Amino acid sequence: MRFGLLTGGGDCPGLNAALRAAVYRAERAGHQSVGFLDGWKGVRDGLTRPLQASDVSEALLHGGTILGTSRTNPFRVPADAERVLATIHRLGIDALIAIGGDDTLSAAREFYRRGGRVVGVPKTMDNDVAGTDWTFGFDSASTVAVDALTRLRDTAGSHHRAIVLEVMGRHAGWVALATGLAGGADATLIPEETYDEAELRAKVRRAVERRGFALVVASEGIELSDRKGTAGGKDEFGHELLGERGVGEELARRIEKATGVEARSASIGHIQRGGPPTLFDRILATRLGAKAVDLALTGAFGTVAVLRGAEIIGIPLDEALKAPKTVPIDWRDLLHTFDA
Ligand code: F6P
């Protein structure tokens, strides 16, 4: 068989590990692989690079994606969809492995509905893909965010300040939750919950009274009271570019004004998405990449390799594309146990 591999959507640590695993697994079973450049754009435009085990042997260690990525949606325009199918036919691709989040996987489903032979691998630092317990990229990104909060703790403590750390996560608060929990924040704001100014002020005051400083983690996707809407543009899948709203900065301004506690903010933005994958992400990405090839070899197209408990299994693309997975009540309850 000839496998085509692509990575789409926002990059995250672990993509190269998944590619490496898929290429090794295919090669070991006597099959070839080719990489499509920049996600679905590469399939649409026929942009490829060879992918052999020797090309990916070191990839495990590195963040980003050696194939490049984009947020191209090739099924928006009928002519583009035809170009996708033509490329697959022309290059003799027997099975496509699409590694990505909701958007990349929804394009994979569209491809499958048009007769394409595809298996998905979920990834995203946002951890919001339904049907899988965790996505790779999340552990690495959250580890960076916790490190940032730990550093902010030193400077907040020295200056007796409140510091707000803004983290990514789009409309799911998983990264903020992990950062707040593992980094010991005094308040953590996530998009799943209505944000309350008075409550936040009280938490900041209590933390400052108790130990002289306060740490707040805010997810980029929260709605600030009395300020709605987007300041930035949208991507090809229609998603707002939330980082441009600057909720962390605005929160710090409001905290200082309302409490008199000197406040600062930090936004680690795309720093969260880079760097080598953590142990957890390397192993998860490796298992998923290998499983995707196994699924394709058994003819299980239209599926996604996912983590369920300790097992890696294949589930239908439809199941992984249900509503995005947000933070449920029990996690939120645990999070707020540690609020100031
Ligand atoms: O989907 C992952 C993500 O990192 C989101 O958390 C964030 O809102 C978005 O990507 C940022 O996208 P871009 O890389 O286009 O700025």
Please report which confidence band the pLDDT of residue 232 belongs to, taking 50, 70 and 90 as the band edges.
low
pLDDT for residue 231? 57
In angstroms, the CA 173 to CA 167 distance is 9
Torsion angles phi and psi, residue 314, rounded to 5:
-105, 135
Read off the tokens for 86: 């033509």
Please report which confidence band the pLDDT of residue 226 belongs to, taking 50, 70 and 90 as the band edges.
confident
Q: Work out the percent of the chain whose per-residue pLDDT is above 90.
A: 93
CATH superfamily of 140-273: Phosphofructokinase domain (3.40.50.460)
Catalytic residue selected from 11, 38, 102, 126: 126
What spacing in Å lies between the alpha carbon of 42 and ligand 1's midpoint? Answer: 20
Q: For ligand 1, atom 1, which residue shows the shortest CA distance?
A: 10
Please report which confidence band the pLDDT of residue 237 belongs to, taking 50, 70 and 90 as the band edges.
confident
Q: For ligand 1, atom 10, which residue shows the shortest CA distance?
A: 10
Please report which confidence band the pLDDT of residue 245 belongs to, taking 50, 70 and 90 as the band edges.
confident
CATH no. of 2-136+277-320? 3.40.50.450
| The pLDDT of residue 229 is above 60 | no
Please report which confidence band the pLDDT of residue 279 belongs to, taking 50, 70 and 90 as the band edges.
very high
Q: Confirm if 35 and 20 have CB atoms less than 8 A apart.
A: no
Residues 122, 123, 128, 134, Cα dihedral to 10° = 80
pLDDT for residue 111? 98
Q: For ligand 1, atom 3, which residue shows the shortest CA distance?
A: 10
Condensed to tens digits (0 to 9), the pLDDT of residues 84-103 reads: 999 999 999 999 999 999 99
- Give residue ranges with CB within 6 A of ligand 1: 10, 101, 124-126, 168-170, 220, 235, 241-243, 273
The domains of the chain are located at 2-136+277-320, 140-273
Condensed to tens digits (0 to 9), the pLDDT of residues 41-77 reads: 999 999 999 999 999 999 999 999 999 999 999 999 9
pLDDT for residue 230? 53
Q: How many CA atoms lie within 13 A of 157 on its CB side?
A: 10
In angstroms, the CA 232 to CA 230 distance is 6
Ligand 1 mutation target, pool 38, 71, 168, most atoms within 8 A of CB? 168
pLDDT for residue 228? 55
Has 294 been annotated as catalytic?
no
Same fold for the pair 2-136+277-320 and 140-273: yes
Higher pLDDT, 237 or 125: 125
Q: Confirm if 99 and 19 have CB atoms less than 8 A apart.
A: yes
